[in-house]
């Protein structure tokens, strides 16, 4: 465990001494703010419209969770598809390029300690990113009454999704010593995972169900609605564990060649 | 201290190292010579546990490199051809990081850093980023990194490559100082370096050991340069003999 923390600590620090961390954090918060502002403005105009129409039935159904927070979380998740692989791209690829991979692998470390340390370091960074966007829902709590449970469920979903992305990004980084290749293959893999359910409606029943199950968005959408089902938690856990397991094999594979 | 027996390493069809055997006693500095691409780096990577061999065995400090890899890695200090430095870290935090992943007890780490900083002459660059250091200093930090956990065996892959003459002399005398109780394997293709600091020489060519001899015995039969050229030339002649044998 000490070794895992040592590696994670170095990883996390290395984010903050390079400009990447600040660029990514700023970009993410800037986009988040832009989404938030526009969603709120739209919500406001819808609210005004239906108040003028004096349509109490519709007005009752308008709420902050569904009209502001849910789309905000969905938009943020799309941005994470692109940004998380950019964060994780250097993780192992850079070590290979700089030759420090040899240092790690000739130290009395287990491969699992290296992989978990790398994962933990990136996870903490991404968790900070996600947590900082919490400021937007907090603003809503100050001026309105969103449902706390739904907001927390949605954020748990966003965090789990981001964590899965970190694990997959790390896997992509383990295959190559080229950071660009790591980032691009990571983004492509995540996008596919994101939209793999698109043909689900036209595919057969079984395949359709399978595609829907595979798509990370389906599980995320449930959590954004505030539905926390063990089925979805199991899905995220499976993705994370599987990606870490494959990363482990990939790092270990230097010993097979 | 170090025993290599019949080590072979294949990458697909290419044989990088074939049937390599040699040994080094405690306190010996072993010069590991050979032309570029002879298999020096591959052999060193096998010894340090970075890669396994296809066949054969190697023992470091009494532990098998393959079955007791972690024990071996604890007892070996390794300076790869490119010093394994994180450009974004300063010298001291870097050494602290290496000490930790080498499994040193917490209480011993600060003293160890002091020791290697002094030993490798890094006092002036303690707080400098490794990415900003000159080549000579990078090499010295690489050496400090290999020494931090006070390993009984040191594996140095071309430690003086790319240094200016003054730096070469410094690193050389440092290596001589380091030896003492330690076994050092030093790969290089600078022959005078070997005759100056090594007690034993192993010459490898095209993946095979063509000579293993004590320095004292060697210099009696001519200069190291002559011996080296002869060993490599002989190998090329034998090479054709071996390949026809294999075909037959």
Residue B248, pLDDT score:
33
Residue B234, pLDDT score:
66
Checking ipTM against 0.95, whether it exceeds it is no
Residue B56, pLDDT score:
93
Nearest-CA distance A42 → chain B (Å)? 45
Residue A144, pLDDT score:
87
- Closest partner residue to B97 (CB to CB) among A2, A6, A102 is A6
Where are the domains positioned within chain B?
Answer: 1-75+183-248
Q: Tell me whether strands B55-60 and B14-24 are parallel, antiparallel or unpaired.
A: unpaired
Q: What percent of chain B has pLDDT over 90?
A: 57
Q: Which CATH class is domain B1-75+183-248?
A: alpha beta
Say how far apart CA A80 and CA B241 lie, in whole Å: 62
Nearest chain A residue to B106 by CA: give it.
A2
Where are the domains positioned within chain A?
Answer: 2-255
Q: Pick the residue with more confidence: B68 or A61?
A: B68
Residue A257, pLDDT score:
58
Nearest chain B residue to A104 by CA: give it.
B101
The answer to whether residues A137 and A36 touch, using CB atoms and an 8 Å cutoff, is no
Low-confidence ranges of chain A (pLDDT < 70): 256-257
Instruction: Please compute the mean of the pLDDT values over residues B53-78 and round it to a whole number.
Output: 92
Instruction: Please compute the mean of the pLDDT values over residues B185-205 and round it to a whole number.
Output: 88
DSSP string over chain A: -HHHHHHHHHHHHHHHHSHHHHHHHHHHHHHHHHHHHHHHHHHHHHHHHHHHHT-HHHHHH--HIIIIIHHHHHHHHHHHHHHHHHHHSHHHHHHHHHTHHHHHHTSS--HHHHHHHHHHHHHHHHHHHHHHTTHHHHHHHHHS---HHHHHHHHHHHHHHHHHHHHHHHHHHHT-S-HHHHHHHHHHHHHHHHHTTGGGGTS-HHHHHHHHHH-HHHHHHHHHTT---HHHHHHHHHHHHHHHHHHHHHHHGGGT-
* Cβ-based burial of B241 (10 A; exposed 0-12, middle 13-18, buried ≥19): exposed
Q: Over the Cα atoms of chain A, what is R_g? A: 20
Mutation target among B41, B84, B161 for the A interface, most CBs of A within 10 A: B84
Q: pTM of the entire structure?
A: 0.91
Q: What is the pLDDT of chain B when averaged over all its residues? A: 88
Residue B35, pLDDT score:
86
The strand pairing partners of B105, in sequence order, are: none
Residue B196, pLDDT score:
85
Q: Pick the residue with more confidence: B217 or B6?
A: B6
pLDDT tens for A211-231 read 999 999 999 999 999 999 999
Residue A145, pLDDT score:
87
Say how far apart CA B49 and CA B65 lie, in whole Å: 6
Measure the CA angle with vertex A51, ends A47 and A52; round to 5°: 120
Q: Tell me whether strands B29-33 and B76-79 are parallel, antiparallel or unpaired.
A: unpaired
């Amino acid at each position: 465990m000490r070794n895992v923390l040592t590696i994670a600590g170095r990883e996390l620090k290395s984010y903050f001494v390079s400009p990447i961390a600040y660029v990514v954090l700023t970009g993410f918060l800037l986009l988040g703010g832009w989404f938030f502002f526009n969603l709120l403005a739209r919500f406001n105009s819808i609210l005004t419209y239906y108040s003028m129409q004096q349509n109490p039935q519709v007005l009752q159904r308008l709420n902050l969770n569904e009209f502001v927070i849910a789309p905000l979380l969905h938009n943020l998740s799309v941005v994470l598809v692109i940004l998380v692989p950019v964060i994780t791209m250097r993780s192992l690829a850079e070590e290979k390029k700089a030759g420090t991979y040899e240092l790690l692998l000739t130290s009395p470390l287990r491969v699992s300690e290296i992989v978990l340390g790398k994962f933990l370091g990136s996870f903490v960074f991404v968790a900070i990113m996600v947590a900082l966007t919490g400021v937007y829902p907090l603003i809503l709590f100050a001026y309105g009454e969103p449902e706390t449970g739904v907001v927390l469920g949605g954020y748990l979903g966003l965090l789990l999704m981001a964590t899965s992305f970190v694990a997959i990004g790390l896997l992509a980084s383990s295959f190559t010593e080229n950071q660009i290749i790591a980032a691009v293959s990571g983004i492509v893999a995540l996008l596919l995972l994101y939209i793999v359910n698109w043909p689900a409606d036209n595919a057969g029943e079984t395949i359709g169900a399978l595609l829907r199950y595979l798509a990370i968005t389906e599980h995320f959408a449930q959590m954004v609605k505030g539905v926390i089902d063990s089925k979805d938690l199991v899905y995220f856990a499976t993705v994370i564990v599987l990606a870490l397991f494959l990363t482990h094999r990939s790092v270990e594979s230097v010993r097979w060649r | 201290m170090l025993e290599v027996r019949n080590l072979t390493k294949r990458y697909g069809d290419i044989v990088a190292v074939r049937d390599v055997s040699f040994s080094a006693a405690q306190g010996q500095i072993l010069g590991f010579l050979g032309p570029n691409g002879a298999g020096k780096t591959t052999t060193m990577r096998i010894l340090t546990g970075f890669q396994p061999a296809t066949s054969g065995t190697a023992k470091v400090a009494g532990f098998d490199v393959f079955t007791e890899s972690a024990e071996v890695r604890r007892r070996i200090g390794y300076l790869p051809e490119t010093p394994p430095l994180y450009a974004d870290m300063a010298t001291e935090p870097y050494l602290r990081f290496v000490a930790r992943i080498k499994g040193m007890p917490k209480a011993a780490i600060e003293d160890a850093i002091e020791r290697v900083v002094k030993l490798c002459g890094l006092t002036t660059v303690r707080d400098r980023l490794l990415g900003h250091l000159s080549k000579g200093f990078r090499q010295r930090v690489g050496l400090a990194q290999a020494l931090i956990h006070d390993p009984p065996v040191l594996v140095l892959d071309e430690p003086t490559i790319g240094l200016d003459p003054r730096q070469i002399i410094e690193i050389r005398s440092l290596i001589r100082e380091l030896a003492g109780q330690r076994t050092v394997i030093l790969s290089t293709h600078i022959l005078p370096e070997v005759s100056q600091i090594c007690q034993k020489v192993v010459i490898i060519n095209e993946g095979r050991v063509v000579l293993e001899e004590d320095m004292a015995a060697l210099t009696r039969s001519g200069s190291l340069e002559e011996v080296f050229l002869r060993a490599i030339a002989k190998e090329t002649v034998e090479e054709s003999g071996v390949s026809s044998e294999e075909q037959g």
